[in-house]
């Protein structure tokens, strides 16, 4: 996972993933790369840096008109904000990024929009389906369909896309699965081939795309967890509103639920990314407000009064 701030790029260290090429590319762009080992620290940094409003619009474009029916637009906007640091870095590497459901793109970065020479607001169907060479169209559509249905786990192929300015451009296209808001999406990476490059995708390109995609998947995973937590908090908040007499805050109701499920203060702290001391303070307030003496007494009280 990655966080870009000013001239620094922070990477969450993962012993299972080699991010050497991604770090090298970032350093070539003049960034200072720092690795963060503690996940809680990284999440705190991410939370503090997440922007509001329309920040990140230049690093990626959200195609709201293409979002699947019934999808949570707010969730996609949060995702756009959360990945803007990665999207900006990928854009500076001149790598095109298109996220789609296999037919309709929901997000595209400026590099990809420039490659296909289409304004994001005008994109309806997948832009490559209109720009790709005719004899490559069916294999491309088959690959992206199978990936969106999870019948394959990745694909890499060479394609040619037509642009009025330069006629045909030779590109390398990589497809990977991406899950967001319970939707099976596809992330595609476009790299323009330079004269003299081998026809088949290079090992370096493939590994670099793998590192970038692992980071993107990690960020979408964080968002999925947060959305789930937000849902639980909303349910807890609704319960609290239905029972105003208990006077517990939303956070206290959340901690009460964790106590009922048998979590220790230390485990609650890790789940909520707060300190153990803060959890203990909330526990004391809950006991005081419910006039209970200990955990067992509190659980009996909560069950009897249908607080859970």
> Tens of pLDDT along the chain (308 residues)?
445 555 666 776 766 666 777 777 777 767 777 777 766 666 666 555 544 433 344 788 888 888 877 677 888 888 887 787 778 888 888 999 999 988 889 999 999 998 888 888 888 888 888 788 888 888 888 998 899 889 999 999 888 888 776 678 888 999 999 988 778 899 999 998 876 554 455 567 888 888 888 888 877 877 777 666 666 555 555 555 545 446 788 888 889 999 988 899 999 988 888 888 889 989 998 998 888 989 988 888 888 887 87
Top-level class of domain 51-227: alpha beta
CATH 3.40.50.1450 is held by the domain 243-304: no
Judge if 51-227 and 243-304 fold alike in CATH terms. no
Tell me the pLDDT tens digit for each residue of 59-91: 888 888 888 776 778 888 888 877 877 788 888
Domain ranges of the chain: 51-227, 243-304
Do 119 and 105 contact (CB within 8 A), yes or no?
Answer: no
HEC per residue, the chain: CEEEECCEEEEECCCCCCCHHHHHHHHHCCCEEEEECCHHHHHHHHHHHCCCCCCCCCCCEECHHHCCCCCCHHHHHHHHHHCHHHHHHHHHCCEEEEEECCCCEEEECHHHHHHHCCCHHHCCCCHHHHHECHHHHHHHHHHHHHHHCCCCCCEEEEEEEEECCCEEEEEEEEEEEEEECCEEEEEEEEEECCCCCCCCCCHHHHHHHHHHHHHHHHHHHHHHHHHHHHHHHHHHHHHHHHCHHHCCCHHHHHHHHHHHCCCCHHHHHHHHCCCHHHHHHHHHHHHHHHCCCCHHHHHHHHHHCCCC
At 20-67, the pLDDT tens digits run: 777 777 777 677 777 777 666 666 665 555 444 333 447 888 888 888
Position 42 scores a pLDDT of 61
98 class by beta-carbon count within 10 Å (0-12 exposed, 13-18 middle, 19+ buried):
buried
CA angle 258, 260, 263 (to 5 degrees): 45
């Amino acid at each position: 996972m990655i966080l870009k701030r000013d001239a620094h790029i922070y990477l969450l260290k993962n012993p299972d993933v080699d991010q050497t090429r991604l770090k090298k590319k970032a350093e070539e762009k003049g960034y200072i790369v720092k690795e963060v080992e503690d996940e809680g620290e990284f999440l705190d940094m991410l939370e503090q840096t997440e922007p509001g409003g329309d920040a990140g619009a230049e690093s990626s474009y959200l195609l709201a008109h293409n979002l699947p029916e019934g999808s949570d637009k707010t969730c996609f906007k949060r995702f756009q904000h959360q990945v803007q640091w990665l999207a900006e870095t990928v854009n500076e590497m001149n790598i095109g990024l298109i996220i789609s459901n296999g037919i309709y793109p929901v997000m595209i970065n400026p590099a990809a929009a420039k490659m296909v020479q289409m304004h994001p607001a005008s994109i309806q169907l997948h832009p490559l389906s209109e720009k790709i060479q005719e004899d490559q169209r069916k294999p491309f559509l088959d690959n992206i369909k199978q990936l969106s249905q999870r019948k394959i786990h990745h694909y890499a192929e060479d394609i040619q896309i037509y642009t009025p300015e330069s006629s045909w451009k030779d590109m390398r296209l990589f497809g990977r699965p991406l899950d967001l808001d319970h939707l099976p999406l596809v992330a595609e990476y476009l790299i323009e081939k330079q004269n003299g490059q081998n026809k088949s995708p290079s090992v370096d390109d493939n590994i670099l795309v793998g590192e970038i995609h692992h980071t993107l998947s990690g960020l979408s995973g964080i968002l999925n967890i947060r959305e789930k937590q937000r849902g639980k908090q909303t349910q807890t908040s609704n319960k609290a509103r239905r029972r105003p007499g208990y006077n517990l805050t939303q956070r206290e109701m959340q901690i009460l639920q964790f106590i009922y499920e048998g979590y220790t203060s230390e485990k609650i702290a890790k789940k909520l990314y707060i300190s153990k001391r803060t959890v203990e303070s909330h526990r004391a307030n809950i006991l005081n407000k419910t006039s209970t003496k200990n955990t067992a007494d509190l659980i009996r009280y909560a069950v009897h009064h249908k607080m859970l």
